[in-house]
Amino acid sequence: MAAGAAMTVTTEPRDDGVAVVTLDRPERHNAIDLATAAELASVWRRLRGDESVRAVVLTGAGERAFCTGIDRSVSVPQPPSPYAMDDPLRDIGPKANDLWKPVVAAVGGMACGGAFYLLGEAEFIVADETATFFDPHTSYGMVSAYEAVYMAQRMPAGEVARMALMGTAERISARRAYETGLVSEVVPQGEAVAAAVRAAAVIASYPTEAVQGTVRALWAAKEAALTQALARAPQLIALGNRPPDAQAALFAARTPGFRVR
């Protein structure tokens, strides 16, 4: 990070073995730019070696959003091949950085698009009643590949398909997310972090080797299918995405209004 640049990810260690990691760009709905992506990877790598941290809570600053995916101001040059794609979000999750300490996500407000890279690598999700989940990719001429694959590990196939294909026309409420298994607990507005910390503190009180071994075992149960599916994502995106200027035109022409179910 350049000297004097503001931190966009904060880490708050606690005395109970829990660290609270916060995406801190509330003015951008905690969207992830290149600096934030690099910070997230750095945070997970740092926590790997911090023996005082035995569990992590991941959340977003402010009340409007947990995370709205990649910041649309980010420009990522792509290789001139339909078989390759550079994705700055591929390495923002804890598992992508070899962190096997349990991560509990605390969601309030919007969680959409690239947020699913993070939610897909959390052990479980606590949401407050304001939380909504949606995937805008198809509305803007983009393929939902990584996002849909991650959510297919957590939700019934039909629910993932509906969310990915309906784009910005629908949002999944916290209640519906709980009913489909995406969310493990729904709490009153503003209480998601506290509830996630309570759960994480219990986990942190247990022997760390057993906890991390269990996390690794649970991930192994889906790792092979996940790896195979993610390997196809770059080609699908490269072949199916509209050019950036066409995506921008669709984004600029978006109309307000959506259904919450």
For 124-155, how does the pLDDT look when each residue is reduced to its tens digit (9 = 90+)? 999 999 999 999 999 999 999 999 999 999 99
User: Which pLDDT belongs to residue 3?
Assistant: 44
Across the range 58-77, mean pLDDT stands at 92
Residue 31 has pLDDT above 70, yes or no: yes
Residue 44 has pLDDT above 80, yes or no: yes
Q: Is the dihedral of CA 165, 170, 93, 181 positive or negative?
A: negative
Residue 38 has pLDDT above 50, yes or no: yes
96 is a domain residue: yes
Q: What percentage of the chain exceeds 90 in pLDDT?
A: 83
User: Which pLDDT belongs to residue 135?
Assistant: 97
CB atoms within 10 A of CB 189: 13
172 is a domain residue: yes
162 is a domain residue: yes
Nearest to 109 by CA among 147, 155, 62: 62
Structure-derived torsion over alpha carbons of residues 167, 219, 179, 146, reported in degrees to the nearest 10: 0
81 is a domain residue: no
pLDDT digits (tens, 9 = 90+) for 159-217: 999 999 999 999 999 999 999 999 999 999 999 999 999 999 999 999 999 999 999 99
42 is a domain residue: yes
| H or E stretch covering 152 | helix 146-152
CATH number at residue 157: 3.90.226.10
103 is a domain residue: yes
Residue 1 has pLDDT above 60, yes or no: no
Instruction: Tell me how many domains the chain contains.
Output: 1
164 is a domain residue: yes
Q: What is the pTM of this model?
A: 0.93
Distances (CA, A) of 188 to 66, 170, 191: 15, 22, 6
Residue 2 has pLDDT above 90, yes or no: no
Across the range 223-227, mean pLDDT stands at 91
158 is a domain residue: yes
Residue 257 has pLDDT above 80, yes or no: yes
Q: Assess contact for 218 and 123: CB atoms under 8 A.
A: yes
Q: What percentage of the chain exceeds 70 in pLDDT?
A: 97
3-state helix, strand, coil in the chain (%, to 5): 45, 20, 40
Residue 79 has pLDDT above 70, yes or no: yes
User: Which pLDDT belongs to residue 161?
Assistant: 98
User: Which pLDDT belongs to residue 73?
Assistant: 84
Q: Assess contact for 83 and 238: CB atoms under 8 A.
A: yes
For residue 124, give its domain range.
9-73+87-192+202-208
